[in-house]
Structure 1
Amino acid sequence: MTKWRWLILFVPLAIFTVMVVVLLRGLGSDPRELESTMIGKPIPAFQLPDLYQPDILHDQGVLQGRPMLLNVWATWCPTCRAEHQYLNKLAQQGVYIVGLNYKDDSRAKAIDWLNTLGDPYQLNLMDLSGQVALDLGVYGAPETFLIDSDGIVRYRHVGDVNPRVWEQDLGPKYQQLMQQYESEERQ
């Protein structure tokens, strides 16, 4: 076989092999597992109004002091609606959840939504511009961040929080942070 004939056979085969590897790698990945640059870093500085009392401004200090979930939600988000009942259940079980209302155009609509579906949040921040969510690296709602008592992001979940996600992933991580927090409190 001549050198050129060998190249004519080998080059397309090599290109095909590379394409198959790239495509198979993409098929095997979970689109909800998006890398976050915030893991291990403190919550970015912010000042946001309280959803219920807009004259009260909160800063990143409200996301310190105890382990908590920061749940990014919006009234226009159907998946947020789907997860909301489960968040209510977690709140009733004592899970501390802070809400970050993301780009809703109406405070009244957001409050009505919570009055209708229940409010699982200990505190609700209103991010009208979406800047804080952008600083957190949010791709869309819902997203939930696990934050330790020092205000450090420890984990990020993209998509709805449901029983499977809680039992297999987020819940054990939250419980571990709570155990560390409680043992530090006793000292």
Structure 2
Amino acid sequence: MSEQATNSPPQGRRWVLVLPLIVFVGLAGLFLLRLYGGDPSRIPSALIGRPAPQTALPALEGLVKDGAQVPGLDPAMFTGKVSVVNVWASWCVPCHDEAPLFTELGKDKRFQIIGINYKDAPDNARRFLGRYGNPFGLVGVDGNGRASIEWGVYGVPETFVVGREGKIVYKLVGPVTPDNVNSVLKAEIEKALAAGS
């Protein structure tokens, strides 16, 4: 008998040796599909249906609108009115893209738009709002990012719709775009407005 014939495994045993590799490749493919195969803006939030975080945030110092200092975030402001909360920063590239859409959205006075300025320099934040216009009735400064953690923010920008009862009814991960502003964000705002009437 030749040496090669005695060292090679029988045909049936080769399959057993390859099986772990096949399982590994299948699991890796499934993992990658789940990781990259979905729409990141559809990440579910554990906060949907729960009260908006009750974290007060200081005002953006020196930010003036209609001759008065724009107030910071007061959680009591969520009760009785539909609110759109946008977490943004001047250093965030997609925030620059969505800013004109929020300026346009701010013309609708049936709801309030609230900004949470995330880990930003005050001068840069004021310059950002000066460049695009300030759609926010309130701007809270989240200098250390703690409030954004309470809101369940994955990264800026993120936008929330809060109903009249002060509960979060919708979360959009990622920027508001010309494609989703009407079909997604405005549709969710209209639902919240209808629910409270």
Please give the range of the TM-score, normalised by the shorter of the 2 chains: 0.7 to 0.9
The equivalent residue for 1:98 is 114
Identity fraction in percent:
31
The number of equivalent residue pairs is: 180
Give 5+ residue unaligned stretches, structure 2: 1-9, 64-68
Counterpart for residue 78 of structure 2: 63
Q: SS of the residue aligned with 1:32?
A: helix
| 1:30-109 matches, cutoff 5 A | 30-51=39-60, 52=63, 53=69, 58-94=73-109, 95-106=111-122, 108-109=123-124
1:15 Cα deviation after fit: 2.5
Measure the CA separation in 1 of the matches of 2:15 and 2:188.
55
Secondary structure class of the residue paired with 2:106: helix
Q: Which residue of 2 aligns with 1:114?
A: 129
CA distance in 2 between partners of 1:146 and 1:112 (Å)? 26
In the TM superposition, structure 1's runs of 4+ consecutive aligned residues that sit over 6 Å from their partners are none
Shift of 1:177: 1.0
**Could you report, residue by residue, the CA deviation over 1:16-74 in whole angstroms, capped at 9, with x for unpaired residues?**
222223223333212333332211111122121122348x6643111222111101111
Which of 121, 129, 139 is 1:124 aligned to? 139
Task: Quote the Cα distance in structure 1 between the aligned partners of 2:170 and 2:13.
Answer: 53
Letter in 2 for 1:71: N
Residues 47 and 120 (structure 1 numbering): CA distance in 2 closer, same or farther, change over 3 Å? same
What is the TM-score of this pair, normalised by structure 1?
0.84
Q: Secondary structure at the match of 2:42?
A: coil
Aligned to 2:76, what secondary structure does the other structure show?
helix
Distance in 2, Cα, partners of 1:34 & 1:135: 16
In structure 2, distance between residues paired with 1:57 and 1:12: 56
Q: Select the structure of larger CA radius of gyration.
A: 2
Q: Distance in 2 between matches of 1:71 and 1:155?
A: 12
> For structure 1, which runs of at least 5 residues remain unmatched after alignment?
183-187
d(CA) in 2 for partners of 1:46 and 1:18?
A: 41
In structure 2, the residue matched to 1:185 is none
Cα distance in 1 for residues equivalent to 2:131 and 2:27: 52
One of 16, 23, 47 as aligned partner of 2:25: 16
Aligned to 2:161: 146
After TM superposition, the score normalised by the length of structure 2 is: 0.81
